[in-house]
Structure 1
Amino acid sequence: MQSYLQYRSIKSCVDRHCTHISHSDASVDKPEKYILSCARRLEREPTDEPVNFKENDVYLVGWDGPDDPLNPKNFSFAKKIRTTLLVSLIAFVVTAASATDAPVLKQAAKDLHVSEVAESLATGSFLLGYAVGAVFAAPFSEALGRNLVYIVTLFLFGLFVMASALAPNFGAQVVLRFIAGFFGSTPLVCSGGSIADLWNQMEKTYAFPLYSITCFGGPIVGPVITSFIGVSHLTSWRWAEWMNVFMTILAWLIVFFFMPETFGPLLLKWKAAEIRKQTGQDHFKAEIEVSHRSLKARLKVAFTRPFLMALEPIIILMALYLTVLYIALFTFLNGYSFIFGDTYGLGQGLTNICFLGLEIGMLLAAFLVYPIWRITKRDLEKAHSEGRRSIDPEVRLWFGMLGGSISIPIGLFWMGWTDYASVSIWSPLVASVVLGYGIVCIFTSVYMYVIDSYEIYAASALTLVTFMRYTVAGGMTEVGIPFYKNMGTHWTLTIMACLTVLLAPLPYALYIWGKKIRSFSKYAVGDI
């Protein structure tokens, strides 16, 4: 709906400007090709002098100046916040669905006549669907626009979640959950582009954490939403899926009516098409049309470039970091029953309420936004004084350096070695708060650093990061129950803590040597 209103606004704008254009046919012996800003041409004063179009002229359509209200970067602050929250809402709904099955694992396994380890594949297949779908999401959003892709994929996501709620057997459930995850992957890759469409470098310092805290809250709040469904005598385990369906319907309606299109090249394509329609001249083109990149070509790049970037040190290290965090996070879905349920005798419902500790920690990360905004502003002023137009991407690592990377091993060690019945339950709960703070700080740093480091190749870089972490996390959900059962909570959490200790220096190391590492890269930006 908002996209239609945007199109109407573009049509009205063209209506006003095209009254200043007259037509004439001019033939020349040697036609030349000119790439001009159509916006500047349309803004000239009205005159009786005709515009002479040559046979091969191409007039590149642009915005009507730097303050064009149709440009998403010039949306009002309130509209930008609202749009960012809508993207965050989509991410929250699809990521929450990855975890809502965990609280009803026992009941689902019993009803479908499989073991609990086998039933955990319902979560694993969903995450693998994320991994595969991420490869397709970016090129479709660049060809068709963000809004259409969000609306269509969210609708299909809800459809297959509903189908999994009605699944007659275990095999159908696993397959349908995989397809639901495939269509739910869109915001995991496209959200970075949506935020970049709206916000400049300084504004992203507070806009992206708004998204990341909401997005990461999905798999944490998901088990809380469905915590008591499994133990209730009034509902079956399938109501966990129906809860996802209801949330998806609500989110889809909100997005359909209130989500604007933010992909600037597509809006300019609409503008160019309207100019051609009203002037009868085919010389007016948008940049996305001049580039002649078809959807097929974009898909070819999407299938190849992310894996060509697999040797990039920055991408590999950041993907490894997020993969370890996701292993910890998604094995918690089954591990909390051992950490809190078995140790403290909590019931199935209360055990899943304990996930709120992680969410509280994630919300605490919001207090870092203002001091990091001050640091970013200082570095941007310094960059301008040195004649550079932008800050170094390493500034984005402050979220990880201000306690983020250290908090993760501290939280895991703390939780692991105070998880005794003789120790108050508040000890591992507080440890989960520390852990949640660290997880969202690292997630925010990784995404912002990769986006700023690879700019035009950021979509491919994020695709690889997403593919790697969800592929591994999807597989690890299968070993979560045997791992906690055979190793015990103390050593399972210790092993994960040791892995994060090895990765804890990474934000600091990249802050010092990241610029040098980028200088050897074929894809990363240099001095900007």
Structure 2
Amino acid sequence: MKRITVTESNDSVWNGPQDPRKPANWSFARKWTIVVTTSLATFIVSLGSSIFSAAIPFVQAEFGVSSHVALLGISLYVLGFAFGPMVWGPASELYGKTRPLWIGYFFFCLLHIPCALATQISVVLVFRFLIGLAGSSMLAILGGMYVDFLLHPTERGISTAVFSAATFSGPSLGPIVGNIVATRWGWRFTIWATMVGAAVFGMLAFLSTPETSEVVIARRKARKVYKDTGNESILRQLPEETPNTSIFCQVYLAKPIRMICQEPILIFMTIYMSVVYGIIYTTFTMYPIAFTSYRGWPSVQASLPFLGILVGVLLACCMLAYHNIYYIPLLMRQTEVHVPERRLVPMILGSASFGSPGPPTHLYHGYLRRALVF
């Protein structure tokens, strides 16, 4: 079957550039409902990565494994975050945003069931990896989805702040929620609780989020008109082949690999983000040792220091939103154009503050874990 696609200026599909069916013309309420609900769903995905840290001592006791093996439940989940976007991102370019987004999220919810019912540590670890792999569809697709309907640079910057707050607040709250749940109902309920939260917030996001890719929407509308009327005047034939698995694997899956090999800025940013994520997730094992093993705090109280990370995340996101609300529009009024590099200011400040006091702070914390035992 030949591929049928729409011309951009076809009035039989769109009623002009101000057509309210176009994502860019949706109402303010609809746009930001999508941003908020999908960010909440992403919050659960990221929370699931660290909530397992509370289950580690229980997993060790039940399955008779070392702490190093139990910690793989966190490591493999995050490893799924690394590999999943290499599939979900290219899929969203070819098939639209919502289809791969909700396929991934559906399996993210579903795979919690065998993980919670597992009777062997190997099953737990395999499904933790698969859960992270499936849940990463939210991390990979939502940034591009927001660009589809948020056109102004300020709107895009604020949506980035909201999404970032959800993404990084989840790992900070995970150990706290996990310890409360695990001490009262057992470690398996940390998995059940994540699944329930994912189902609730995922349903809200699913009901609020239609397809946002204008090209995909137009293609679907044109095919419907063609099917109903047989009118080929609104269509034109393209030489490309119909999108299929072969094209997806040969063309789209290769894009991330080509980009990371050919774009130096992407290489450096990837390495930097890997270091940041590595340090954040190291605290999930470092804090329990420092506050539970050395200071003898109960597990719930020992997880409260993660609130410091949460406060830092929220302050950084507020700064990012402020920068986009006031600084970016001011420069746009002066130059009448938006320069993407202007967004680097908060990142530079954050990198400098992370790089200068960061290592000494961790050294100080490592020293105090022995010096101030109370």
When the two structures are superposed, what TM-score results if normalisation uses the length of structure 2? Answer: 0.89
Deviation of residue 327 (structure 1)? 0.7
Quick one: which of 277, 294, 308 aligns to 2:243?
A: 294
Query: Is residue 56 of structure 2 the alignment partner of residue 105 of structure 1?
Result: yes
**Residue identity in the other structure for 1:399:** P
- The whole-number CA distance in structure 1 between the counterparts of 2:69 and 2:253 is 31
CA contact (8 A) 1:227 1:353 kept: no
User: Measured at CA, do residues 82 and 412 of structure 1 come closer, stay the same or move farther in structure 2, by a change above 3 Å?
Assistant: farther
Deviation sequence 1:338-368 (CA, Å, 0-9, x none): 3333443322221122211111111112432
Deviation of residue 408 (structure 1)? 5.0
Q: How many residues align?
A: 363
Deviation of residue 421 (structure 1)? 6.0
CA contact (8 A) 2:34 2:205 kept: no
Query: Is residue 352 of structure 2 the alignment partner of residue 405 of structure 1?
Result: yes
Q: 69-78 or 124-133, which moves further after superposition?
A: 124-133
Report what 2:158 is aligned to: 206
Deviation sequence 1:169-202 (CA, Å, 0-9, x none): 0111111111111111101110111111121223
Report what 1:165 is aligned to: 116
CA contact (8 A) 1:269 1:285 kept: no
User: Measured at CA, do residues 329 and 282 of structure 1 come closer, stay the same or move farther in structure 2, by a change above 3 Å?
Assistant: same
**Residue identity in the other structure for 1:92:** F
- The whole-number CA distance in structure 2 between the counterparts of 1:122 and 1:420 is 28
**Residue identity in the other structure for 1:362:** V
Counterparts of 1:296-311 in structure 2, within 5 Å, are: 296=245, 297-311=247-261
Report what 1:82 is aligned to: 33
- The whole-number CA distance in structure 2 between the counterparts of 1:301 and 1:125 is 28
Higher relative contact order (CA 8 A, sep 6+): 2
Unaligned stretches of 5+ in structure 2?
A: 1-5
Deviation of residue 330 (structure 1)? 1.0
Query: Is residue 141 of structure 2 the alignment partner of residue 193 of structure 1?
Result: no
Counterparts of 1:422-501 in structure 2, within 5 Å, are: none
Quick one: which of 183, 191, 199 aligns to 1:241?
A: 191
CA contact (8 A) 1:99 1:123 kept: yes
Report what 1:38 is aligned to: 10
**Residue identity in the other structure for 2:202:** W
Report what 2:227 is aligned to: 277
CA contact (8 A) 2:104 2:137 kept: yes
Deviation sequence 1:448-498 (CA, Å, 0-9, x none): xxxxxxxxxxxxxxxxxxxxxxxxxxxxxxxxxxxxxxxxxxxxxxxxxxx
When the two structures are superposed, what TM-score results if normalisation uses the length of structure 1? Answer: 0.64
**Residue identity in the other structure for 1:112:** F
Report what 1:476 is aligned to: none
Deviation sequence 1:270-319 (CA, Å, 0-9, x none): 221232134312343489x7754614323323332222222321011111
Query: Is residue 331 of structure 2 the alignment partner of residue 379 of structure 1?
Result: yes
Report what 2:368 is aligned to: 420
- The whole-number CA distance in structure 1 between the counterparts of 2:7 and 2:24 is 24
Query: Is residue 291 of structure 2 the alignment partner of residue 319 of structure 1?
Result: no
Unaligned stretches of 5+ in structure 1?
A: 1-33, 43-60, 385-389, 426-528
Query: Is residue 134 of structure 2 the alignment partner of residue 183 of structure 1?
Result: yes
Quick one: which of 317, 331, 351 aligns to 2:282?
A: 331
- The whole-number CA distance in structure 2 between the counterparts of 1:227 and 1:286 is 59
Deviation of residue 36 (structure 1)? 6.7
CA contact (8 A) 1:372 1:399 kept: no
Query: Is residue 220 of structure 2 the alignment partner of residue 256 of structure 1?
Result: no
**Residue identity in the other structure for 1:284:** I
- The whole-number CA distance in structure 1 between the counterparts of 2:332 and 2:368 is 49
User: Measured at CA, do residues 160 and 354 of structure 1 come closer, stay the same or move farther in structure 2, by a change above 3 Å?
Assistant: same
Report what 2:178 is aligned to: 226
User: Measured at CA, do residues 414 and 139 of structure 1 come closer, stay the same or move farther in structure 2, by a change above 3 Å?
Assistant: closer
Deviation sequence 1:3-54 (CA, Å, 0-9, x none): xxxxxxxxxxxxxxxxxxxxxxxxxxxxxxx967212xx5xxxxxxxxxxxx
Query: Is residue 122 of structure 2 the alignment partner of residue 150 of structure 1?
Result: no
**Residue identity in the other structure for 1:391:** H
Q: 165-174 or 411-420, which moves further after superposition?
A: 411-420
Deviation sequence 1:79-126 (CA, Å, 0-9, x none): 111101122122111111111110120111110111111111111121
- The whole-number CA distance in structure 2 between the counterparts of 1:257 and 1:84 is 13
Report what 1:485 is aligned to: none
CA contact (8 A) 1:103 1:230 kept: yes
User: Measured at CA, do residues 290 and 332 of structure 1 come closer, stay the same or move farther in structure 2, by a change above 3 Å?
Assistant: farther
**Residue identity in the other structure for 2:227:** K
- The whole-number CA distance in structure 1 between the counterparts of 2:353 and 2:163 is 23
SS at match of 2:368: coil
Instruction: Percent identity, please.
Output: 26
Deviation of residue 164 (structure 1)? 0.5
Query: Is residue 203 of structure 2 the alignment partner of residue 217 of structure 1?
Result: no
SS at match of 1:179: helix
- The whole-number CA distance in structure 2 between the counterparts of 1:68 and 1:290 is 29
User: Measured at CA, do residues 298 and 278 of structure 1 come closer, stay the same or move farther in structure 2, by a change above 3 Å?
Assistant: same
What is the aligned-residue RMSD (CA, Å)? Answer: 2.5
SS at match of 1:168: coil
Deviation of residue 145 (structure 1)? 2.5
- The whole-number CA distance in structure 2 between the counterparts of 1:100 and 1:72 is 36
- The whole-number CA distance in structure 1 between the counterparts of 2:121 and 2:330 is 56
Report what 2:74 is aligned to: 123
Deviation sequence 1:232-287 (CA, Å, 0-9, x none): 3xx22111111111112212321232222212111111221232134312343489
Report what 1:516 is aligned to: none
